[in-house]
Amino acid sequence: MPRTYAFPLALGALLALAGLLVVVALRPASAPSREEVARQIAGDLRCPDCQGLSVADSNSGSAVEIRRQIEEQLTAGRSPDEVRQSFVDRYGEWILLSPTAPLAWLLPALVLLAAVGALTVWIWRARRTRERAGGSADPPVTELDRARVREEAEALDA
């Protein structure tokens, strides 16, 4: 095959791949079953008795009861958001494993930016101080300092 066909073939293959990705991305997803929805909700809720476990991962009595209540509410026709909200109303925001406040997601990034800013200012000031001192971090040597060094050297020689 001549080399002149390589670019059009590669371009055609890339366009076909892009088209396939668009079709897969836009294809409607199948609706999750009630059990899958219940498992997702239980995974979002913190177990009241366990430390750091979700209701889905815990086998404590309270986690089993919460899973039963989730199933009961979904069977009654409540939406997943309504079910989550019922537990937030009962236990408070604490019951959710992931924070809902945007500040909780932004705070680590803001702290990191502040630390980088403080480090930048510290380095900039240190460089400026060094430049003012004549390119050296050591203080300038005065004539008095030189005289003292001579006197000490003469005293040691004697």
Q: Where are the domains of the chain?
A: 34-95, 102-157
Greater confidence (128 vs 65) lies with 65
pTM over 0.85: no
∠ CA 70-76-77, nearest 5°, is 95
* Structural class in CATH, domain 34-95: mainly alpha
Surface-to-core class of residue 40, CB atoms within 10 Å of its CB (0-12 exposed, 13-18 middle, 19+ buried): middle
Is a pLDDT exceeding 90 seen at residue 1? no
pLDDT tens for each residue of 87-105: 999 988 888 888 777 777 7
Which of 3-12, 16-25, 89-98 is the least confident region?
3-12
- The DSSP letter of residue 153 is H
Q: Please compute the mean of the pLDDT values over residues 116-124 and round it to a whole number.
A: 92
Residue 19's alpha-carbon distances to 5, 12, 14, 60, 98, in angstroms, are 21, 10, 9, 48, 35
The tens digit of pLDDT for each residue in 106-119 reads 888 999 999 999 99
pLDDT digits (tens, 9 = 90+) for 43-99: 999 988 887 888 999 889 999 999 999 999 999 999 999 999 999 999 888 888 887
